[in-house]
Structure 1
Amino acid sequence: MRRRLLVLGAATFLAVGGSVALEMISSSDEVCAAQAKTSFSDDVVPILTGHCYSCHTPGGQGSQKSGLDLSTYDGVMHGTKSGKMVIPGDPDSSNLMWLLEWRGAPETHMPLGKKKLSTCDRDTIRAWIREGALNN
């Protein structure tokens, strides 16, 4: 009898724990892959290409308006007509993160008029900045 109660208790524990874990996984947007080091060319450029290049390349509407050219590393590091977008080592003070995390007025939410970048994409850019915003 005691053994049966232990088995029943264990099964209940696993069922509840599994349900909670499944809910935690399904309630998050996605699970991000852990990386040892973030690469500008391998990790950041594909995000910029997919979400930012249509406006922030030479001749693009965003580039003309703000001066921000995201098509090259030098363009990213140069910033806008108003100043730097990336402060190496300090993602919280970097204007790029401020815009991507939608911390300002709706007209400053990037990418403009589109959905917010995924948490994983924002975390990748944040990690790259935290690691020194290297041209790697």
Structure 2
Amino acid sequence: MKRQQLRATAIVLCAAALIGFDGMAPSSQLCAADTQSFAEDILPLLKWRCAGCHQSGGDGYEKSGLDLTTYEGVMKGTKFGPMVIARDPDVSNLMLLLDWRVAPQLRMPHNKKQLSKCDRDAIRAWIKEGAKNN
């Protein structure tokens, strides 16, 4: 219940920021729960924004071998190497791609809007917490 209330509050506050309400705390204080759950926070986000390409039969899966529909797929990484280095989001390839700290042709998601700072911070926090299957 607490997590749902936090999400609802974050949505309202993010909407307020979009319409110009400036009496807000920094977004990093509004977006992330105390701890990130892979099953409740990260996987739904990956399925919503990434799995269209990064699942069996998807273009991203065919090119890289990355399946973002399961914990095992995320942790397996790509045919080129790991995507997540537990406890080290700064060197995790997933964050490099999502933060757009790579060449434009490699940025994720391809030809789409970048994930919000809140979403990227949630993934970053999950990695920092150890990238647990929780």
Residue by residue over 1:45-80, the C-alpha shift from the partner in whole angstroms, topping out at 9 and shown as x without a partner, is 111011001000011100000110101100000000
Deviation at 1:34, TM superposition (A): 4.0
Decide which of 88, 106, 109 is 2:107's aligned counterpart: 109
Percent identity reads 56
> For 1:127 and 1:97, how far apart are their aligned partners in 2?
11
Question: Which residue is equivalent to 1:61?
Answer: 59
Q: Tell which deviates more after alignment, 61-70 or 32-41.
A: 32-41
> For 2:131 and 2:87, how far apart are their aligned partners in 1?
7
Moved >6 Å (runs of 4+): 28-31
Decide which of 32, 38, 41 is 1:40's aligned counterpart: 38
For the pair shown, which has the larger CA radius of gyration, 1 or 2?
1
Q: Give the direction of change, closer, same or farther, for the CA distance of 1:34–1:78 in structure 2 (3 Å limit).
A: closer
8 Å CA contact 1:31–1:120 kept in 2: the answer is no
Indicate whether 1:23 and 2:40 are aligned: no
TM-score by length of 1: 0.77
Would you tell me which structure has more helix in proportion to its own residues? 1
| Alignment coverage as a number of residue pairs | 114
8 Å CA contact 2:82–2:93 kept in 1: the answer is yes
TM-score by length of 2: 0.79
How large is the RMSD of aligned CA atoms in angstroms?
Answer: 2.0
> For 1:51 and 1:85, how far apart are their aligned partners in 2?
16
Deviation at 1:23, TM superposition (A): 3.5
Question: Which residue is equivalent to 2:17?
Answer: none
Q: Give the direction of change, closer, same or farther, for the CA distance of 1:34–1:74 in structure 2 (3 Å limit).
A: closer
- Letter of the 2:22 partner, please give it: E
SS in 1 for 2:30: coil
Instruction: Structure 1: give runs of 5+ residues left out of the alignment.
Output: 1-21
- Letter of the 1:41 partner, please give it: A
Indicate whether 1:134 and 2:132 are aligned: yes
